[in-house]
Amino acid sequence: MALEVIAQKAWERADPRNQGVLADELVATSQGVCVRRVRYRCALRGEEFSFLTSEQTLPPGLIAHLYRLRWEIEKTFDELKNKLGETKAWASSPEAKAMQAHFLCMAHNLMVRCEAELERVHGVRNEAELERRAQRLEKEAQRLAKQKVALPVLVRTLQRLTQRSVKFIRWLRVQLFAQPHHAPAIAALRQLYATL
């Protein structure tokens, strides 16, 4: 699709959220449809991306970061397929497929909620995975510092675990079928998370 630049949008270069933004433009297709194009260079991978959107009010760096976060959706699909074993449709009708999709979304959201409640109420967190993530992030920050580039503020501040661990999913399955008393079940998860 050939796009013609109509105008350069003004954006705040000093705003740390805009780190990596190369251009914020209004562009038009040959049919006259106008959209916003944010050109962005990822500090982590060094790749250049162009994002098209109808959103006109958000800072361009935030637009780029929101698109980056969309990759987490793909990781969630991977979790459903590989960790929960949902590789086939339950039925062939559109209604059944829609119901299956809704159930999978509910299962994902319930696992996220369960994990959050375990942390909030009982202080149980997957510290090993959080530490591995922090180490990966610090390694990236050091690599970028050698190139005299700062780790983007949105990458550093907006971190969250996208997938549930296999340990958590296995623990949850056992608890759903065994129906044990609450306290021993949480102690078992705490012990699982303590192992590397």
Out of 50-64, 75-89, 178-192, pick the least confident: 178-192
Give the end of a domain, one of 23, 42, 69.
69
Q: Which DSSP state fits 159?
A: -
Contacts of 95 (CB under 8 A, 6+ apart): none
Q: Is the pLDDT of residue 56 over 90?
A: yes
* Per-residue pLDDT reduced to its tens digit, 141-155: 898 899 888 888 888
Cβ atoms 189, 124 nearer than 8 A: yes
Q: Are residue 10 and residue 54 in the same domain, yes or no?
A: yes
Q: Are residue 44 and residue 102 in the same domain, yes or no?
A: no
Give the end of a domain, one of 46, 69, 92.
69
Residue that wins the pLDDT comparison between 26 and 154: 26
Q: Are residue 8 and residue 84 in the same domain, yes or no?
A: no
Domain for residue 134, yes or no? no
Residue 176 CB: number of other CB atoms within 10 A? 8
For the chain, the average pLDDT equals 88
Domain for residue 40, yes or no? yes
The residue range of the domain holding 105 is 73-126+161-194
Q: Are residue 17 and residue 82 in the same domain, yes or no?
A: no
Q: Are residue 13 and residue 104 in the same domain, yes or no?
A: no
Report which of 130, 125, 135, 129 is spatially closest to residue 190, judged by C-alpha positions.
Answer: 125
Q: Are residue 45 and residue 107 in the same domain, yes or no?
A: no
Domain for residue 144, yes or no? no
Q: Note the pLDDT of residue 89.
A: 87
Q: Are residue 96 and residue 20 in the same domain, yes or no?
A: no
Q: Are residue 19 and residue 61 in the same domain, yes or no?
A: yes
Q: Is the pLDDT of residue 29 over 80?
A: yes
CA gap 188, 196 in Å, rounded: 15
Domain for residue 153, yes or no? no
Domain for residue 174, yes or no? yes
Most confident of 1-5, 43-47, 166-170: 166-170
Domain for residue 149, yes or no? no
Q: Are residue 165 and residue 119 in the same domain, yes or no?
A: yes
Q: Are residue 31 and residue 82 in the same domain, yes or no?
A: no
Q: Is the pLDDT of residue 90 over 90?
A: no
Neighbouring C-alpha atoms within 13 Å toward the C-beta of 183: 0
Q: Are residue 19 and residue 110 in the same domain, yes or no?
A: no
Q: Are residue 79 and residue 19 in the same domain, yes or no?
A: no
Domain count, the chain: 2
Domain for residue 136, yes or no? no
Reported pTM: 0.64
Q: Is the pLDDT of residue 135 over 80?
A: yes
Written as one letter, the residue type at 161 is L
Cβ atoms 126, 168 nearer than 8 A: yes
Exposed, middle or buried by CB within 10 Å (0-12, 13-18, 19+), for 164? buried
Share of the chain residues as helix, strand and coil, in percent rounded to the nearest 5: 55, 15, 30
* Per-residue pLDDT reduced to its tens digit, 147-180: 888 888 888 777 666 788 888 998 998 888 876 6
